Amino acid sequence: MRIGIIGAGAAGLAAASVLKSEHDLVVFEQQDQLGGLWNYRSDPELGTLYPTLRTNLPRELMAFWDFPFDDKFSEPTTGDFPGHRNVLNYLTAYAEYQGLISSIKFNTTIKSITPEPQSRGWTLITGSNQKASFDAIVVANGHYSQPRLPEIKGSQTFPGTITHSKNYREPSAFTSQRVMIWGTAASGQDLSREISGEAQQVFLSGNQGPSVKTSQRSNVSYHADPVKIDGHTVYLSDKTAISHIDSVIYCTGYNYVFPFLSDEIIDVTDNLVSPLYKDIIHPEHPTLAFIGIPYLIIPFPLFITQAAWFAAVLAGYHTLPARQAMKQEIAQKIASFQQKNIKPWHYHRLGDLQGPYMDSLINDYGGHPVPNRFHQLAKSAQLSRQKDPDGFRKLNVRQILAQAPE
């Protein structure tokens, strides 16, 4: 089969590495370099990362199964928690190891992808109006480009700076300021610690409120979600208020966007991408796959597992349920989330469910089980972050595993 892959980041490279042996591939990448998210750009319009960013996962967990993330991709100052340059170097070496570079068309945007009426294939049109036909499409364009900016009532009255973590580069921009950070996930926690070294006070705000444990710095405090802004005062969901705020940083995640696909093919409402069976395949278009939709994950192993599942579907090693059965399973999953009062934008969140999810995919296509060490290290790494949010990156893998529960 001839397969088009959208994106040469980690997800696209994972898909290409799995599919290359049996199929003719073309990987489309809009930038001049592979790496996707990990391709650092100082201009926030072009990239998402800030200069000092390091992974919050040890490099052993970041690795693809067949390509160790060893010392040659790291450096003494980063240890087992590599910086973005280390990850990019790893991905570049992986692409070379897999022989993928020649399959990548750089500096190529995608205008549209439409189903071909007489077949199960697809017509792809690039930004320069070049047309190509494919038997299958893998969408691996990532979801860290368009910031998600939930509305706060009265935000237009705020005289200071409102920005998103995507635009953050240096803590010096917040010197001596009173800064509110909205969002208590990884980016909110990392930015609160980094900015607190320059700011007068950092107010970390989110739905976990005061229970979340992040930096132990004296000028970082924890608060409920913001609901209203009036001038320099921010009112919170617990009826308290914080005054004299100079800047607000949204650490509220990103939107899923697929500008090359029509709404009739894929719907994104409240950041729920639908319909997707197993968070991968479109039940009406089984030659259209999405790699990397779930979040709060250990990414590279997940991408490989999803890609291997799709490869098995294409090869006939795994037979999909009937179209209506897939749709019913999708509907039941959504109904289950609704019964639990989970918001739509959290439907793709995996977290502790990543292990069972990967096991389910592997069981479908008969692959090798996930190594026990992977599960042990994942759990231990989570515990180390919770135990010492400021210092967990100082640990090596041996020290992290030593913290595993009995």
Q: Where are the alpha helices (DSSP H) in 316-352?
A: 323-339
Q: Is the dihedral of CA 351, 345, 185, 289 positive or negative?
A: positive
Task: Assess whether the region 2-146+254-370 and the region 149-250 belong to the same CATH fold.
Answer: yes
Q: Give pLDDT, residue 390.
A: 84
| Alpha helices by DSSP H, 225-371 | 299-315, 323-339, 354-365
The torsion defined by the Cα of 37, 41, 43 and 47, in degrees rounded to 10, comes to: 0
Please provide the CATH number assigned to the domain covering 2-146+254-370: 3.50.50.60
Q: CA 33 to CA 360: how far, in whole Å?
A: 34
Q: What is the pLDDT of residue 43?
A: 92
Q: Are 141 and 165 in contact (CB under 8 A)?
A: no
Q: Could you give the count of Cα atoms lying within 13 Å of 383 in the half-sphere of its Cβ?
A: 15
User: For residue 256, what are the CA distances in angstroms to 21, 100, 146, 157, 275?
Assistant: 30, 26, 8, 29, 14
Helix 299-315 vs helix 354-365: angle between axes, to the nearest 10 degrees? 30
- For the chain, the structural domain boundaries read 2-146+254-370, 149-250
| DSSP H/E element including 62 | helix 59-62
List the structure tokens of 369.
Answer: 């089980």
Under DSSP, the state recorded for 348 is T
Nearest C-alpha neighbor of 204 from the set 154, 150, 165: 165
Considering the domain 149-250 in this protein, what is its CATH number?
3.50.50.60
275 prior amide bond cis, ω within 30: yes
- Residue pLDDT tens, the chain, 406 long: 999 999 999 999 999 999 999 999 999 999 999 999 999 999 998 899 999 999 999 999 999 999 999 999 988 888 899 999 999 999 999 999 999 999 999 999 999 999 998 888 999 999 999 999 999 999 999 999 999 999 999 999 999 999 999 999 999 999 999 999 999 988 999 999 999 999 999 999 987 544 455 557 889 999 999 999 999 999 999 999 999 999 999 999 999 999 999 999 999 999 999 999 999 999 999 999 999 999 999 999 999 999 999 999 999 999 999 999 999 999 999 999 999 999 999 999 999 999 999 999 999 999 999 999 999 999 999 999 988 888 899 999 999 998 766 5
Query: Which residues, including other chains, have CB under 8 Å from residue 102's CB and lie 6 or more apart?
Result: none
**pLDDT at res. 179:** 98
Query: Three-class SS string for 171-209?
Result: HHHHCCCEEEEECCCHHHHHHHHHHCCCCCEEEEECCCH
Sequence-distant (≥ 6) Cβ neighbours of residue 314 within 8 angstroms: 1, 19, 22, 23, 136, 287
Ramachandran assignment for 152, one of left (phi > 0), alpha (psi -120 to 50 degrees), beta (any other): beta
- Looking at residue 210, what is its pLDDT? 46
User: What does the pLDDT read at residue 389?
Assistant: 85
Please name which of 134, 126, 141 lies closest in space to residue 24, comparing C-alpha atoms: 134
User: Rounded to two decimals, what is the model's pTM?
Assistant: 0.94
d(CA 24, CA 272): 31
Distance CA(170)–CA(342), nearest Å, equals 34
